[in-house]
Amino acid sequence: MNASLTPGQTKVDQVRLLIDGQWVESKTSEWRDVVNPATQEVLARVPFATAEELDAAVAAAQRAFKTWKDTPIGARMRIMLRLQALIREHSKRIAVTLSAEQGKTIADAEGDIFRGLEVVEHACSIGTLQMGEFAENVAGGVDTYTLRQPIGVCAGITPFNFPAMIPLWMFPMAIVCGNTFVLKPSEQDPLSTMLLVELAIEAGVPAGVLNVVHGGKQVVDGLCTHSDIKAVSFVGSTEVGTHVYDLAGKHGKRVQSMMGAKNHAVILPDANRTQTLNALAGAAFGAAGQRCMATSVAVFVGKSREWLPELKALASKLKVNAGSEPGTDVGPVISKRAKERVLGLIESGIREGATLELDGRDVKVPGYENGNFVGPTLFSGVTTDMQIYTQEIFGPVLVTLEVDTLDEAIALVNRNPFGNGTGLFTQSGAAARKFQSEIDVGQVGINIPIPVPVPYFSFTGSRGSKLGDLGPYGKQVVQFYTQTKTVTARWFDDDSVNDGVNTTISLR
């Protein structure tokens, strides 16, 4: 078995489905290759599950819910404790697979797994997270309390860019709250997700509580419209996320849809120059710019515009290579199609009059001539009507704009249709406070380039980056995966006073 195989695969490298605790070979006729983006080596074939297979997965989850919802909190929690220990133990092995199928460096792949592991660790606190509230004596002898009950079968649809972290945002929290789950990983890189699913089974998740179907639009639409699914968590592009939100919403489901981004870093001239430029280069070009929280726009305020040559020098020193090679800073983008799209957008920037300061289009990587590489690319003189500004590029491309004041920068960020992440670089507390208060973006970093919250808080987003009230992980996701029941109760002593018929709405 090579490093890319999971025990959920056959020896011909077919990724399997997980239905009712069984690893199932799909009967579909539609398959897609899982390809190493640095080499084009086919690592496995992933099935696009049939409608019957999807129904079987949902039916298994529905059956399992009957007993799983009543499984004591401590038992659910202990499975998460085992899962976090197993993920820790197997993290390095999974990182190799993740790097091979996704392209990111081994260190970044370990980071992808670690950020998901943190959510599993948080799931171990479900005893307190899922507690209800209690008010004694809301009327004479009457108490009111709330129960946070699981909602049923939930579904998760994940993107290619974090094949460990994002599935781990979803199924551990859903399951630990007492729900059952059907996961649809990205068809582009499902192997590391499957390794984590396998660890969940090893940790003791019972048959049917976690199921996996693979596929594309048909399977996603099937999940969004299935009458037995109560909630859908989606992470991916704005285009697909809006479709999922509308379709699943129309079919009566709770939906959280975490979508695309254009993340601005605003640089004030009083910022720590070295730290800021290092942060910008790392956040713009790391993971080949394929993070939803990547910095893709730098807004230089006032004299900070003079730092551009230094940023260019830093970016040009980053090493482009396969993620598996030591010392790599920038790996390949996920597919040939993604590379074509990034190159097309770079060309549109040139056509529309931006200045190409650093051109990553013709990067050569010895030994990996077929890889989907794009080198760090830097534009200046960008205006807000250009496609390189209006569209999410999702590649190692940083566009820079210049403004004169912080107010102008805030207005610029707030006019952009996306609101996922942003950062302010400054030494001024007053400027930082003004920025955090006035900016309309979900995640705000102050001298932090990629402000992804730790799991005791929730990931969020605004405007074109998120639909639905409640975000992944933290307290919000416990609300998302549970429904509140309010109980108002009075107990009578046998010798209690007969206080007559009450025909009003008041409690007495």
Residues forming the site for ligand NAD (CB under 6 A)? 157-162, 184, 186-187, 216-217, 220, 235-237, 240, 243, 258-261, 292, 392, 394, 420, 459, 461, 465
How many other C-beta atoms can be found within 10 angstroms of the C-beta atom of residue 232? 27
Q: Which helix (H) or strand (E) covers residue 45, if one does?
A: strand 42-47
Scored b (16 or more CB within 10 A) or e, 454-470 reads: ebeebbbbebbbbbbeb
Q: Pick from 175, 169, 242: which is nearest to 211 by CA?
A: 175
Q: What is the largest CA-CA distance in the chain?
A: 91
Residue closer to ligand NAD (CB basis): 13 or 189: 189
Number of residues written out for the chain: 508
Residue closer to ligand NAD (CB basis): 258 or 386: 258
Extract the tokens encoding 34: 């899982």
Minimum CB separation from ligand NAD for residue 222, in Å?
A: 10
Contact 297, 400 (CB under 8 A): yes
Residue closer to ligand NAD (CB basis): 65 or 394: 394
Minimum CB separation from ligand NAD for residue 421, in Å?
A: 9
Contact 94, 113 (CB under 8 A): yes
- Tell me the three state secondary structure of residue 400: strand
Whose tokens are 């990547």? That residue is 294
Minimum CB separation from ligand NAD for residue 411, in Å?
A: 23
Minimum CB separation from ligand NAD for residue 258, in Å?
A: 3
Residue closer to ligand NAD (CB basis): 99 or 233: 233
Q: Does the annotation count 124 as an active-site position?
A: no
Catalytic residue among 124, 154, 177, 292: 292
Q: Pick from 219, 144, 180: which is nearest to 71 by CA?
A: 180
Residue closest to ligand NAD when measured from CB atoms: 236
- What's the rounded Cα separation, in Å, for the pair 277 and 311? 6
Minimum CB separation from ligand NAD for residue 129, in Å?
A: 21
Residue closer to ligand NAD (CB basis): 82 or 243: 243
Extract the tokens encoding 339: 């590379």
How does DSSP assign 61-97, residue by residue? HHHHHHHHTTS-HHHHHHHHHHHHHHHHHHHHHHHHH
Minimum CB separation from ligand NAD for residue 71, in Å?
A: 29
Residue closer to ligand NAD (CB basis): 164 or 267: 164
> Where in the sequence numbering do the catalytic residues fall?
292
